[in-house]
Copies of this chain bind each other. A is one copy, B any other.
Amino acid sequence: MLKDFVYYNPTKIYFGKDSMDNLEIELKNYGKKVLFVYGGGSIKRSGLYNKVIQSLKNTNKTIYELSDVLPNPTYEKMMEGANIVKKEKIDLILAVGGGSVIDCAKGIAAAAKAKNPWRSFWIKNKPTPKKLCPIGSILTMTGTGSEMNGGSVITNTDVNLKKGRVFDANNYPKFSILNPELTYTVPEYQMLSGIFDIFSHLMEQYFSGTDDNVSDYLLEGLMKVLINNTPICINEPTNYEARSNIMWASTMALNTITGLSKDQDWEVHSIEHQISALTNCAHGMGLASISVNYYKHIYKYGLQKFVRFAKNVFNINQENISNEQYALLGIEALDKFIKENKMYYTLQQLGCTQEMLPIIAKTCDKDSSGYKQLTTKEILKILEESY
């Protein structure tokens, strides 16, 4: 059944080779004090750090820096940024990096306005005040879609929890600059992790509902973009067209416009969040390790959709086979896509120990709206199969 929806996404996107030309134009729209948030040394090695500093200087900004925002950004790092925003009355948070950096920036903007941010925003999911410090972003890595949505996944190491929160549109980046060329230097392993993260975002939205739905057609199209472009990116990392397609598919996969009116699943993400909370593994590789086994557990409960997946996403065209066989051919094609594109790792290879499996199964969120609500025992089985 199609659900009613509200859609509102005011992020302005500058996309393409010359998109950085818009940075100074945008900077002029904000006050003097800028908190420049970034990760490790990669933006220094690539020269992007210097370019950003130059643009900040050209527009007469006072620059504050928060560096070392690492993958799976921590609550502690976020609070460090929030304290700067509060203390210095920052006018703009400029996040330069991948999804972790932008997720952290959203957390910073919200946390600067709350007494107990973890409890308020990640546990109790309270709304934020309307007036938050605005965020701009320059994306250097694709996958999370954070550049055009309200998602913010933060890891709280005190309680061993990695939790996602979706903020209101007043905490979306006001602008995001996406230059596919900036992704050329991302190491292959990270690029592929990002690509499977995108694929998983699409599947999490796709595998729900029994209705015929505009969103499903869009999701199918985006999955085909990934299937066609991933091998090109592996063989020729500086192929602009392929990198550009992956980058924009990544944004589209999670700017919410392709999941409208759907229930959505997100159980694979919930399980993986606990895998990477314990192992700090690459998020996309964590998703790839469990996806096939997860879908083998649930496909019977949404059989028609898995048949459609085989036909429309992987172009499988067979006569005289049962729906069940069709569905399994689709899941096998997904398995093949993962393995042929170097995305397959066992949980053990990702750093899990056998002792971790029951902890992951127990602590992960189980509020899926997909085809089947899984028990702790069922999730443990999936983890064991993926070990």
B-binding residues in A (CB < 8 A): 2-19, 22, 211-214, 217-218, 220-222, 224-225, 228-229, 240-242, 244-245, 248-249, 252, 257, 260-261, 317
5 chain-A/chain-B pairs, Cβ below 8 angstroms:
A6-B15, A9-B9, A214-B248, A218-B252, A252-B257
Which of A12, A14, A218 lies at the interface centre, i.e. has the most chain B CB atoms within 10 A of its CB? A218
The answer to whether B248 and A261 touch across the interface, beta carbons within 8 angstroms, is yes
Cα(A18)–Cα(B22), bound, Å: 40
- What is the chain B residue whose CB lies nearest that of A13? B7
The answer to whether B214 and A252 touch across the interface, beta carbons within 8 angstroms, is yes
Cα(A196)–Cα(B203), bound, Å: 31
CB distance from A205 to the nearest CB of B (A): 14
Cα(A234)–Cα(B203), bound, Å: 32
- What is the chain B residue whose CB lies nearest that of A317? B317
CB neighbours (8 Å) of A217 from chain B are 221-222, 224-225
New A-B contacts (14) at CB < 8 Å, excluding given A6-B15, A8-B12: A2-B240, A2-B241, A4-B17, A6-B13, A7-B12, A15-B260, A16-B261, A212-B228, A217-B221, A217-B222, A217-B224, A217-B225, A218-B221, A221-B221
CB neighbours (8 Å) of A3 from chain B are 16
| Top 7 closest pairs, chain A to chain B, by CB | A4-B16, A217-B221, A8-B12, A221-B221, A7-B13, A10-B10, A214-B248
Interface of A is mostly: mixed
How many copies of this chain does one complex carry?
Answer: 2
- What is the chain B residue whose CB lies nearest that of A221? B217
The answer to whether A245 and B213 touch across the interface, beta carbons within 8 angstroms, is yes
Which of A14, A211, A217 lies at the interface centre, i.e. has the most chain B CB atoms within 10 A of its CB? A217
CB neighbours (8 Å) of A225 from chain B are 214, 217
CB neighbours (8 Å) of A4 from chain B are 14-19
Cα(A317)–Cα(B315), bound, Å: 11
Contact of A241 among B211, B218, B240 (CB under 8 A): B211
CB neighbours (8 Å) of A240 from chain B are 2
The answer to whether B15 and A245 touch across the interface, beta carbons within 8 angstroms, is no
The answer to whether B261 and A15 touch across the interface, beta carbons within 8 angstroms, is yes
The answer to whether A244 and B9 touch across the interface, beta carbons within 8 angstroms, is no
The answer to whether B15 and A7 touch across the interface, beta carbons within 8 angstroms, is yes
- What is the chain B residue whose CB lies nearest that of A242? B212
- What is the chain B residue whose CB lies nearest that of A18? B4
- What is the chain B residue whose CB lies nearest that of A224? B217
Cα(A214)–Cα(B16), bound, Å: 14
CB neighbours (8 Å) of A317 from chain B are 317
Cα(A208)–Cα(B219), bound, Å: 22
The answer to whether A5 and B16 touch across the interface, beta carbons within 8 angstroms, is yes
Cα(A6)–Cα(B14), bound, Å: 5
- What is the chain B residue whose CB lies nearest that of A3? B16
Cα(A297)–Cα(B12), bound, Å: 38
Cα(A238)–Cα(B261), bound, Å: 19
